[in-house]
Amino acid sequence: MKMKTILWMLGWTILFASCKKNECHECHYDGPSGKVELGEKCGDDLENLEKNGYATGGVHYEVHCHEH
């Protein structure tokens, strides 16, 4: 019974950790004419976009993703 409980908890922990990595959020940056929507980004794309920002027209912008 104890082993079954440990395996169950381990399974939920792995599932939770993998789901969190694949979370998706709407992202945008604040351009000169206002907020520019970048759409929904997930997982590594979301992390990289927030970390590295977004460049367009030779200008680099900080990206904001809701609830992240």
Phi, psi of 34 (to 5 degrees): 120, -170
Q: Is the pLDDT of residue 54 over 60?
A: yes
Predicted confidence (pLDDT) per residue in 5-33, tens digit: 665 566 655 555 555 567 899 999 999 99
pLDDT of residue 68: 44
pLDDT average, residue stretch 51-61: 94
Provide the mean pLDDT of the chain. Answer: 82
pLDDT of residue 23: 86
Residue predicted with more confidence, 64 or 7: 64
